Chain A
């Protein structure tokens, strides 16, 4: 079928639209630029409960080790463990539990003697501002509230804080949480996102519940330690890790790392 030739006006409009779009693309691309220098890249897998702290750890570590570009990938401890077993190129696993680091060690995939506990995490009840008037100070009573329709928790299958959340829920069951739907996030970060998107409450790592975004939309209450088994965070270096990875290990378990972790609600050994 013959195609109607476009008028000159339409063509001109087309010619003007393309550069405008290109300019928009360029402007957006420049909005978040990185320095041009090329330091040594250090890839590490980081549990999502550390997502708030890792930004500061990155800044302080790179300040102390100028030649190194620390590139964290934030994911659930279970996913990190699975990816490392499949050959992902991370040099360190900063987990939120002991399962992944122990399994990697058993598989002979770690540097001997590098598996250490670097922090202990706390669980918090986060209550949305959409749900005023419930007091979160006694965690179990708030969980039993009839007005709590949707509660977000991390997936207990892969997220250590999900397992802790499940323990707390089982305890609360006796005081009755029948009317509440449990929404499972893929990991702690996803649970936090679900909480922001529309759950009334969430059981989250304290470190996440204290994040500015969460504080703006709700309030966090630490859950007493006695309600769940301790959440021990372990760190391990992957076999063949570089000297920079060792420096990162020393940084995280040393005074500077512990200072940052404490600020984000973790307890350090």
Chain B
């Protein structure tokens, strides 16, 4: 049970880091810049929330598999690897991260940014001294939510990653396999561990969020 647990935590950590790095700028662009075809972009980025995980998994497998374009032209073989399920998890969690980040950025008044710009502040300085101090509680909350949500990852991971021990067999898949093979006693332990882990995270979030205050609250 240690190995699937560590793998789950690794997947959740990786997903959170990638999404914080990619999702936050993306959300910023969607909120604060005039992106051509914004409605379409927003709809496309929300797709993973609505699509069945099997559809997402099917496309990803076609893309990442040995006969897919990535393998053929770039030599990237990600099906049944940790990188593959990380990519799947990032895509699957993208709508959650974007929703949280967008609300956070939307709450930053445009006047404030304009003022900073008029006073001659550089983009880096605005990001560091204006945006981050105001947005970090929202960004952190969104990222923790992504982390917690990654623990529940199942359908896409199963399709893209199979159940390779030590590589793609995360807690949820391990549990599925234990149930499949009628090992109910072990299954109960894994289910309880997963529940405890999720509860601990949500509880930690709930108990600490009052300390995450941005100066505007």
By a beta-carbon cutoff of 8 Å, the part of chain A in contact with chain B is: 1-3, 5-6, 14, 17-18, 21-22, 24-25, 28-29, 31-34, 41, 43, 48, 51, 71, 73-75, 83, 85-89, 187, 189-190, 192-193, 196, 211, 213-214
Contacts and interface: CB of A to CB of B under 8 A. Distances in A.
Contacts of B181: 48, 51, 74, 189
Interface residues of B, number: 39
B129 interface: no
Contacts, number: 100
Given A32-B1, A213-B184, A86 B65 contact: yes
Contact of A28 (B3, B193, B203): B193
A34 B180 contact: no
Given A28-B189, A48-B180, A86 B166 contact: no
B162 A29 contact: no
A86 B79 contact: yes
Interface stretch (B20-28, B29-37, B48-56, B194-202): B194-202
Contact of B80 (A14, A28, A87, A190): A87
A22 B197 CA distance: 8
Given A189-B180, A193-B182, A43 B203 contact: no
A53 B17 CA distance: 42
12 contacts: A3-B210, A17-B207, A18-B207, A25-B200, A28-B1, A43-B164, A48-B181, A73-B165, A73-B177, A87-B66, A192-B182, A211-B182
A5 to B, nearest CB: 8
B165 A43 contact: yes
B203 A75 contact: no
Interface in B125-157: none
B207 A213 contact: no
Interface string B39-83: 000000000000000000000010001110001000001011000
A25 B163 contact: no
Interface in B157-177: 162-167, 169, 177
Interface in B201-217: 203-204, 207, 210, 213, 217
A264 to B, nearest CB: 13
Nearest to B77: A87
Nearest to B200: A21
Given A28-B189, A28-B193, A83 B80 contact: yes
A18 B164 contact: no
Contact of A71 (B77, B166, B210): B166
Nearest to B194: A28
Interface of B: 1-3, 5, 61, 65-67, 71, 77, 79-80, 162-167, 169, 177, 179-182, 184, 186, 189, 192-193, 196-197, 199-200, 203-204, 207, 210, 213, 217
A86 B61 contact: yes
Contacts of B65: 86-87
B71, B167, B182, B200 — most chain A CB neighbours (10 Å): B182
Contact of B1 (A29, A51, A89): A29
A86 B66 CA distance: 5
A24 B196 CA distance: 8
Contact of B210 (A6, A83, A196): A6
Contacts of B196: 21, 24-25, 28
B1 A41 contact: no
A28 B196 CA distance: 9
A189 B164 CA distance: 18
Given A74-B177, A213-B182, A41 B166 contact: yes
Given A21-B196, A86-B66, 12 more contacts: A22-B200, A25-B196, A28-B193, A31-B189, A33-B2, A41-B165, A43-B164, A73-B162, A73-B163, A73-B165, A83-B80, A86-B67
Given A18-B204, A31-B189, A25 B2 contact: no
A263 B213 CA distance: 65
A57 to B, nearest CB: 14
B19 to A, nearest CB: 24
A24, A28, A196 — most chain B CB neighbours (10 Å): A28
Given A1-B217, A6-B210, A29 B193 contact: yes
B7 to A, nearest CB: 13
Contact of A29 (B5, B66, B79, B213): B5
